[in-house]
């Protein structure tokens, strides 16, 4: 029998995870061209969360507040990301693909030029029921 989490539990887990982003100041999302979790390794662009990164979760889904664009990207081909706390602690990683590519983050283009502006219109973290 599989474990099934109720919404109260899913919300608590999601809130606990995303609240770690606010530790030490505003956290970041680092788009990268390799799977290293080291903050500056193969960085393509870095976007900054709001001071309070996420609102309260509902149905196990935490939705980010506004995310500040990177207006001077390092450039490269994004294929993964790492979320960092404001203190610089790596919290989680995921994949990056172009729109409809099935990545955890989907960008209009994964090819980012030096000095480009990179923005995100939405970002969520979901704790599944099972």
Contact, 61 vs 113, CB < 8 A?
no
Residue-wise burial string across 85-103, b where 16 or more C-beta atoms lie within 10 A, e elsewhere: bbeeeebeeeebbeeeeeb
pTM of the predicted model as reported, rounded to 2 decimal places: 0.91
Per-residue pLDDT, 37? 59
Closest CA to 113 of 69, 68, 70, 76: 76
pLDDT values of the chain reduced to their tens digit, one per residue, 130 residues:
789 999 999 999 999 999 999 999 999 999 999 766 565 568 999 999 999 999 999 999 999 999 999 999 999 999 999 999 999 999 999 999 999 999 999 999 999 999 999 999 999 999 999 9
Contact, 50 vs 26, CB < 8 A?
yes
């Amino acid at each position: 029998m599989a474990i099934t989490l109720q919404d109260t539990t899913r919300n608590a887990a999601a809130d606990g995870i995303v609240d770690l982003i606010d530790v030490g100041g505003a956290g970041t999302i680092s788009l990268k061209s390799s799977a290293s979790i080291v903050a500056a390794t193969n960085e393509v662009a870095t976007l900054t969360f709001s001071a309070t990164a996420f609102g309260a979760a509902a149905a196990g889904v935490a939705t980010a507040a506004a995310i500040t664009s990177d207006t001077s990207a390092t450039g490269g081909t994004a294929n993964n990301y790492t979320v960092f706390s404001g203190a610089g602690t790596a919290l989680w990683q995921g994949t990056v693909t172009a729109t409809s590519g099935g990545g955890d983050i989907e960008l209009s283009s994964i090819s980012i030029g030096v000095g480009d502006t990179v923005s995100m219109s939405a970002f969520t973290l979901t704790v599944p029921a099972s």
